[in-house]
Structure 1
């Protein structure tokens, strides 16, 4: 498959043209070889992932966190120079899809979390926050155990005075802690996201709501995993998800 054809196909699948301002450019960020057969999938385009791509003579790398963030310096030196030099020297195509891969209703990060945790999706609180219900009311300890088992990490949990039985869940992959005040208006039992801020603990206590931080990386693996499986099944491309461990 041609590299630009792959970009169009994924753009269409993820509805990339939706009217949401993103923090980075989505799609083909660095152009490499014209034809693609082998693809490495990952969460972030770090040097470890690139080194693996070089080792396996990969044609393309597809990630959730790519380059050229709106708030970063445009100067390319140090570790950024090394990363980009690795890509250019080995003629690798670098693709990145950020918010489209969070909010997509079929292969997005939040849909993946719902499947892992057996949450029935009802709707959205805003374009980035999903909400839904568990099959039955369960103890918060059981829900935390399920997160640990499925995401392979111990989540940070705050909600010492919140009801022990939970049913209605709101969640947002990645850095969704900034939405907590918006979430509490919807009378949920739990808000699950990737990161945590100091203020979230006080908000959780004062509103008797469970707040769970399960890791930015851990909550954003699912989208690229499902995208890789879709590319493999539909277009017979060779895709391989590489999980570069990140405790954050």
Structure 2
């Protein structure tokens, strides 16, 4: 059975995702150190109690997620659900890796790259072939829908692709030639999408003020679910780990309606 050391895998993940480039809301990388050798990894969107319990039941050595622990401005005390999760991981020597913005941004494995693939968007690219982006840290991708030509059709295609009914704000008959997207809770970045000339902006969540911005600028807005839009980057990263080291990697999708 193939295995990789915790140290080697940490180095590969940090280097591949260029974790040091981002000023993030949480630590990126190895958040909890467990066993020194890895043969089996569980991947998922969020390091919830349910995912940790499944990893333990399956006798995995590690968990690799997009949403990890120790977020900025949260209560730093280890109690309640936080204590339960951490105690379970430590008791079973589980390694926990989490990559937030670095996984959103990766040009191939990232959440935005993978969501664009799933939704059939064709990314715009610069002269060097890199995706054309806007917004903070270049997190908002720009491109064009290859099938849908109206906002209503785009909403229907997103429903079919993600199997989740999206919130669509705007005129269903509005023509869409340029689309911008950023997975997760990036609703505030609609301003960058509008400035870049996108007729529609796709993200995971919505805020009250998002509606007004969309209405007043004529930008079509689609909130397709935080979890639903961020299932694909972690799967691509897990597949890359399996290919690189020849170890077992399994994605578990624990549904979340938000």
TM-score by length of structure 1 reads 0.96
Whole-Å Cα distance in 2 between the matches of residues 237 and 163 of structure 1? 48
Q: Which residue of structure 2 aligns with residue 138 of structure 1?
A: 149
> Deviation at 1:119?
1.1
Aligned pair count reads 246
Q: Which residue of structure 2 aligns with residue 30 of structure 1?
A: 32
SS at match of 2:9: helix
2:148–2:154: 8 Å Cα contact kept in structure 1?
no
SS at match of 2:112: helix
Q: Equivalences for 1:83-122 in 2 at 5 Å?
A: 83-122=85-124
- The question of 1:11 aligning with 2:11 is answered no
Whole-Å Cα distance in 2 between the matches of residues 202 and 178 of structure 1? 12
SS at match of 1:154: coil
Equivalent position to 2:44, from 19, 24, 42: 42
SS at match of 2:164: coil
Whole-Å Cα distance in 2 between the matches of residues 181 and 229 of structure 1? 34
Higher strand residue share: 1
Q: Which residue of structure 1 aligns with residue 176 of structure 2?
A: 166
1:136–1:167: 8 Å Cα contact kept in structure 2?
no
> Deviation at 1:141?
2.5
SS at match of 2:239: helix
Unaligned runs of at least 5 residues, structure 2 = 125-131
Unaligned runs of at least 5 residues, structure 1 = none
2:152–2:173: 8 Å Cα contact kept in structure 1?
no
Whole-Å Cα distance in 2 between the matches of residues 136 and 225 of structure 1? 25
2:151–2:170: 8 Å Cα contact kept in structure 1?
no
Q: Equivalences for 1:171-190 in 2 at 5 Å?
A: 171-190=181-200
> Deviation at 1:165?
2.3
Runs of 4+ with >6 A deviation:
none
> Deviation at 1:234?
2.2
Q: Which residue of structure 2 aligns with residue 124 of structure 1?
A: 133
Whole-Å Cα distance in 2 between the matches of residues 238 and 179 of structure 1? 37
The Cα RMSD (Å) is: 1.2
